[in-house]
Amino acid sequence: MSTVRLISEQEATGAVKAYFEAVKKRYGMDWVPNLSRAIAYRMDCNAPRSRAYARIIAPGALSRALKEMIAVAVSAVNACDY
């Protein structure tokens, strides 16, 4: 159980609602991940972070698939279940 109440899609308005829609579109999902529902409390912080993320995860010298695998490996050594 998370230590904060996560923002639901139903209550999202304005920039948060737009962010949730963008996340769903990016991942091809019909729901919003818990991390997005938590970080959306601070859209002023999340906007630049989200832009930076989109830049680094996009294919470049490394493929998108390899970058996702590297992300999983980093999460593993950081002992993060999420």
Partner 1 sequence: MAAEDETWVELALTVFATHSMNRFADGLGIGPDFRTGGEPSTPYLSPVVESHASQAVQRVYRDIKAFYELERVPGVYQVMARNPAYLADMWTFNKLVFQPGRLSRRDKEFIALAVSAAAYSPYGIDFHLREVRRLGADDRAIYEVMAIVHHFSGLTAFAECLQLEPDMLPRQL
DSSP-derived secondary structure for 34-77 = HHHHHHGGGHHHHHHHHHHHHHHHS-SSS-HHHHHHHHHHHHHH
**Contacts to partner 1 by CB under 8 A:** 1-4, 31, 33-35, 38-39, 52-53, 56-57, 60-62, 66-67, 69-82
Of the pair 15, 73, the CB lying nearest partner 1 is at 73
Q: How far is the CB of 76 from partner 1 (least distance, A)?
A: 5
Q: How far is the CB of 1 from partner 1 (least distance, A)?
A: 7
